[in-house]
Amino acid sequence: MKKILLLGLALVTTATTASAQTTLTGAGASFPYPLYSKMFDEYKKANGVSVNYQSVGSGAGQKQILERTVDFAGSDTAMSDAQMKDAPGKLLHIPTAIGAVVPSYNLPGVTATLKFDGPTLANIYLGKIKTWNDPAIAKLNAGVTLPPLPITVVRRSDGSGTTGVFTDYLSKVSSEWKTKVGSATSVSWPIGTGAKGNDGVAGVVKSTPGALGYVELVYAKQNKLTFGTMKNRAGKFIVADNVPASLAANGVVIPADTRVSLTNSANADAYPIASFTYVIFYQDQKYANRTEAQAQALQKLLNWMVTSGQQFNEPLDYAKLPEGVAKKAQTIINTMTYGGKKL
Amino acid sequence: MIEPVKRPAVNSSLSSASDRVFEYIILALASIIVLVFLLSLYQLGKESWPALQKFGLSFFTNREWNPVTSNFGAISMITGTLITSLAALAISVPLAIASALFVAEYAPKWLADPVGYLIELLAAVPSVVYGLFALFVIAKGLSHWQQSFFTSPEKIATYTHCKSLWDAGTTSFQCFFVPISFDGRGLALAIIILTIMILPYTASVARDVIRLVPADQREAMYALGATKWEVISKAILPYARAGIMGGVILALGRALGETLAVAMVIGDSQDSIKSIFSGASTMASVIANQFGDAQEQIHRSSVVTLGFTLFFLSVLVNYIARIIIARLTPKGIQ
């Protein structure tokens, strides 16, 4: 009995000493989860601050930051003004990485990398282009013998930032898409089979001859999927990769609050279907039971994420923030306050 | 008259006190269940209020589910849920009863035990495993068969004929069984996987109640010179049918609420169902797919309203099933 009591006492003491240490919590997008895990792991080694990030989805992350149950939210899409209206304080966004979305396909017998452009992709997803040997695809891919296979259109069934970026791009390049479908993290699709997650979409594409689906670049690269090149706004066909995705941020005017779409970038070498993934937090950090130390720890972490933390992006196949964007993010982080006092 | 012997005073007070304590504990534990039920009802109602207020009853008749325009209707999910569950039930019940009869009546003991064990094991497999099995094994086979509709000439003709019907917004009995694409996913795959998933519920309950049929019942029937089949159909099944229906309801409950495996395979489409191989969606699958990433309040509220609807649909289905059981129960055993 005494032993048990002692053991209990020991557990309680360790628990209290552990909680005295600063722990930050975040929740949200699953897309940057592998990157954040790596970043936070390294950050803990270097600074002793542990960060707990739950990948529950962008929407859930936004909800949690609105309810102030986390220190920061991860989100693949920026919150709209209407969404931020419900917040009890001013919310700030900073980008931490750039992601890209690629059209992955399965065409037996075609070895050349296929070329796509925005309007063609939109027409395929609208159901107007039905077979692979359609003149629109043939015109882009002169010299490639395309089979008369029907196109099995694959898309995400779950709400996802990937869908958000993809439909945002289609809305920019096709007015018909914009009026008929529009862009959001889940939309009312005209056609296609829905599959859950990047792995679900990739699974259908791999097992179905003639299938076409959109997946994240990170997933496509790590799983060695076949994906096509995209024609960008300047008319160049770009193979999706870290550098072209990163360049997308250079062809777009980045506003001071960094809430901007990177799709269809004007940069001549940019990949056209790219987007920021964001961290969202409150400008004034004094809320609930938060201490100033906690607020400072968060500020330090965010600063690290957009500066030294960026070294972990490319090894994990996430595009880095360009210099200018990181600067803007730092400026935003420096506006953080605690009870009105500058941190 | 003999006076009853009085118990020693010490003992009686101790035992009656402990009895009362036990009664309170049991009451408290039992009311937790009621409380959880009421609380979830309240929470669901509160969260779904914005959507119900905005769409009213049209939420249950509108086919559109469009997060972009914030226009939400649940009719395709409601029909999807009912079709997948009832179809899976219709296929699985005969299989389950047959296997229960085999295990309880026909199989020798060395075979009955392992078979019974295996059936129960099916119930313990997590649904994500069923989902993966459906995607990697069944979908592949289905897809292979579906591809023939796009390669062999006479089947292409059928497909083209059906395609014109589908494009016109109708379908025919024959076309209902013609694949729309060849990815293997869709309503049919969801029904197949649900059938396998709910099979053990009916089967194991049915086996147990068949075993519980008194030996007198059988022996009396045999004594009248009945064959084995006559004993089963006239003496055993009528006696056990109320219990079997209980198993069927358990299975139906599971089918209505099954989330992950269905979300993985059903293809998520809100269009009207023109072919058994087309994509569809169920309430549970849409909740699983969209709750995590629903950003607008009305979207989230609509997803919760789906949950609320599912809750009521389950209650309704269970209630109807209870009435059926009461009707089926032979007089004398209750």
In chain B, the residue whose alpha carbon lies closest to the alpha carbon of A199 is B264
At A7, the pLDDT band (50, 70, 90 cuts) reads: low
Q: Are residues A47 and A68 in the same domain?
A: yes
How many domains, in total, are found in chain A?
Answer: 2
Contact A269, A235 (CB under 8 A): no
Give the end of a domain, one of A274, A304, A324: A274
Whether residues A130 and A206 share a domain: the answer is yes
CB contact under 8 A, A158 and B292: yes
Instruction: Indicate if A199 and A210 belong to the same structural domain.
Output: yes
Please give, one letter per residue, the 3-state secondary structure of A207-218.
Answer: HCCCEEEEEEHH
Is residue B133 included in any domain, yes or no? yes
Q: Hey, of B147, B183, B259, B275, which one would you mutate to test binding to chain A, going by the most A CBs within 10 A of its CB?
A: B183
Per-10-residue mean pLDDT for chain B, 334 residues long? 62 70 93 94 93 92 90 92 94 94 90 88 90 91 85 82 83 85 89 94 91 90 92 89 87 90 90 87 92 84 94 88 78 55
CA distance B139 to B133: 9
The H or E element spanning position A280 is strand A274-282
Looking at the structure, do residues A106 and A190 belong to the same domain, yes or no?
Answer: yes
- Distance of CA B148 to CAs B118, B142, B152, Å? 35, 10, 6
A17 in any annotated domain? no
Which of these three, A257, A274, A291, is where a domain ends?
Answer: A274
- Give the domain extent around A300: 22-99+275-342
For chain B, what is the radius of gyration of the CA atoms? 26
Looking at residue B163, what is its pLDDT? 83
Quote the pLDDT of residue A43. 94
CATH number at residue B116: 1.10.3720.10
Exposed e or buried b per residue across B41-59, where buried means at least 16 C-beta atoms within 10 angstroms of its C-beta:
eeebeebbebbbeebeeeb
Whole-number pLDDT of residue A8: 54
A134 and A265 share one domain: yes
How sure is the predictor about A275, in pLDDT bands with cuts at 50, 70 and 90? very high
Q: Which one of B183, B285, B289 has the shortest CB-CB distance to A208?
A: B183
pLDDT of residue A20: 47
Q: How many separate domains does chain B show?
A: 1
**A23 Cβ contact list (under 8 Å, min separation 6):** A49, A50, A51, A52
In this complex, which of A62, A203, A209 lies closest to B295 when CB atoms are compared?
A62
**Which residues partner with A238 through β-bridges?**
A230
User: Does position A230 have pLDDT exceeding 70, yes or no?
Assistant: yes
Question: Residue A178's pLDDT band (boundaries 50, 70, 90)?
Answer: very high
Range in A82-91, A292-301, B9-18, B314-323 the model is least confident about = B9-18
User: In this predicted structure, what is the pLDDT of residue A3?
Assistant: 59
Query: In the prediction, which pLDDT does B334 show?
Result: 46
Q: Does B160 touch chain A (CB under 8 A)?
A: no
Quote the tokens at residue A37: 């895990």
* Domain membership flag for residue A12: no
Residue B99 lies in a domain: yes
pLDDT at A19: 44
| Domain final residue, candidates A254, A274, A294 | A274
pLDDT tops 60 at residue A119: yes
Nearest to A181 among B68, B185, B294 (CB): B68
Query: Mind telling me how many Å the CA of A164 is from chain B's nearest CA?
Result: 11
Residue A14 phi, psi dihedral angles, 5° rounding: -65, -40
pLDDT at residue A211 in the model: 93
Choose among A86, A186, A203: nearest Cβ to B67.
A186
CATH number at residue A175: 3.40.190.10
- Give a yes or no: residue B114 inside a domain: yes
Cross-chain CB nearest to B143 (options A158, A181, A207):
A207
Do residue A152 and residue A199 come from a single domain?
yes
Lowest mean pLDDT among A161-170, A180-189, B315-324: B315-324
B70 touching chain A per CB within 8 A: no
Interface test with B, best of A125, A158, A162 (most B CBs within 10 A): A158
Q: What is the pLDDT of residue A342?
A: 85
Residue A40 has pLDDT above 90, yes or no: yes
Predicted pLDDT of residue A320: 93
Q: Which residues of A178-197 are buried (b: 16+ CB within 10 A; e: fewer)?
A: beebbbbbbbbbebbbbbbb
Residues A239 and A302 in one domain: no
pLDDT digits (tens, 9 = 90+) for A198-216: 888 998 898 888 999 999 9
Q: Which pLDDT value is given to residue A274?
A: 94
Q: What is the pLDDT of residues A47-79, one digit of tens each?
A: 989 999 998 888 888 889 999 999 999 999 898
Does residue B26 fall inside a structural domain? no
**Mutual orientation of helices B187-212 and B139-147 as an angle, nearest 10°?**
130
Q: Do B294 and A159 touch (CB under 8 A)?
A: yes
- A149-178 mean pLDDT: 92
Q: Which residues of B touch A194 (CB under 8 A)?
A: 266-269, 279, 281, 289
**Domain assignment present for A71:** yes
Interface predicted TM-score (ipTM) of this complex, two decimals: 0.81
Q: Is residue A2 part of a domain?
A: no
Strand spans (E) along chain B: 65-66, 71-72
* Residue A1 falls inside a structural domain: no
Containing structural domain, residue B317:
52-329
Residue A183 lies in a domain: yes
Q: Write out the DSSP string of A223-267.
A: TT--B-EEE-TTS-EE---HHHHHHGGGSSPPPTT-----TT---
CA A70 – CA A48 distance, rounded (Å): 19
Alpha-carbon distance A166 to A215, whole Å?
A: 9
Q: What pLDDT is recorded for position A95?
A: 95
Please check whether residue B7 lies inside any domain of the structure.
Answer: no
Per-residue pLDDT at A102: 95
Q: Would B66 be classed as within a structural domain?
A: yes
Read off the DSSP letter of residue A186.
Answer: S
Q: Which residues of B touch A209 (CB under 8 A)?
A: 147, 182
Please tell me the pTM assigned to this model. 0.85
Q: Reply yes or no on whether the pLDDT at A10 is more than 70.
A: no
CB B51 within 8 Å of CB B305: yes
What lies within 8 Å, CB to CB, of A178 at 6+ separation is A170, A171, A172
Predicted local confidence at residue B15, as pLDDT? 66
User: What are the beta bridge partners of residue B66?
Assistant: B71
Q: Which residues pair with B300 in a beta bridge?
A: none
Is the pLDDT assigned to residue A17 strictly greater than 60? no
Residues within 8 A of A (CB atoms), B 2-61 only: none
Q: How many CB pairs under 8 A join A and B?
A: 114
Q: Flag whether B233 is in a domain.
A: yes
pLDDT at A82: 85
